[in-house]
Amino acid sequence: MLYITDVHLGRGKAGQSLKRLKATIDEINGMDPLPALCWMGGDISLQNRAGHQYVELMSQLKCPVRNAVGNHEMLVDQSNPRGEFKQLFGPTYYSFDVGSVHYVTLDGCRVNRKLSGYKNVEGLISPREFHWLGEDLRHVSDGMVTVVAIHIPLVSDYPQRRGTTAKQASYWVIQNAEEVVELLSRHDVPLVLQGHLHENQRTRHKGIEFVESISVCGTWWKSAEGKREVGVSGEPRGYRILDVDGGRITHRYQSSAESKVDAIGEIVGRPKRLAAGKVSTLQVNIFDATTRAKVFARIDDRSLQPLKPSGSSVYFADLEPAHDS
């Protein structure tokens, strides 16, 4: 199964957004075997009036597509902000089974017209959606494993790395996340896929792995033609591949198209030559490390040395990357 999120058609260099998404679709269609499913995690984006272009492009995929709603699908200027999404794709929260996996797609968006820009959609699971989720999980068949997708993350330290808190940044994380996480934990959900923040981050909380997955648009399609499109924390744009073997699910990040690289990371701003007798700082970006990952490095044949998290913000505004040393 593929998990793709944050398409943002029409943003940045709009022509590149169409061209590069098409390149990713062609890449997926060339997989052998083909994925059983492509799950899209939100931010298509309908606010850019790109819904029909998205449908046309995604119809070229040779596997079924299921869509989650993102904050940029909320048409805040309309009486029913979810109306166009529902017309194109159906409900904003729902579940379905493929093989031995029960997939749950959540909404988690609340419109707040008192705010402006991207902040006018906050992260919240409504009481009605919460009740539905509990009933859905209660009826999962024995032997099935459940995977959840939600656009705005339930668990992330992104606000803290931007110098704020989850409570103050209601537009970055789900505000009633703890009660939702407790419900998921009681039903032994092993994996939650998230988007919204355009970075990779893997962390565990109450026995569940929460994965922010990189945006397929990188940093909103801002790079010029011929240049690599990267996310806010520096890793190449791409998607996530899930492998299902009975009740066991593994996943890996895959960089895509013009941004495809074989390495699992890179040295950032690597100089051609280190200055003799001077201290040099090298920053290492491991594209999909967990919060528990330990990184070691050595120069030539010297002994391996442990590297500390960088605490640097060389990629995007004041964001400290989740996976740099």
Give the chain's domains with CATH numbers. 2-259 (3.60.21.10)
Question: 0.75 cut: is pTM over it?
Answer: yes
The pLDDT confidence band at residue 291, using thresholds 50, 70 and 90, is confident
The per-residue pLDDT for 293 is 87
Q: Mean per-residue pLDDT for 221-233?
A: 93
Which of the four pLDDT bands, split at 50, 70 and 90, describes residue 52? Answer: very high
Q: What is the pLDDT, as a whole number, of residue 56?
A: 96
Residue 271 scores a pLDDT above 80? no
User: Residue 180 has which token pair?
Assistant: 């939702």
The CA distance from 1 to 152, in Å, is 21
Ranges 36-50, 52-66, 67-81, 293-307: which has the least confidence: 293-307
pLDDT score at 241: 97
Percent pLDDT > 90 in the chain is 80
| Angstrom distance (rounded) from CA 229 to CA 15 | 14
Question: What is the predicted pLDDT for the residue at 116?
Answer: 83
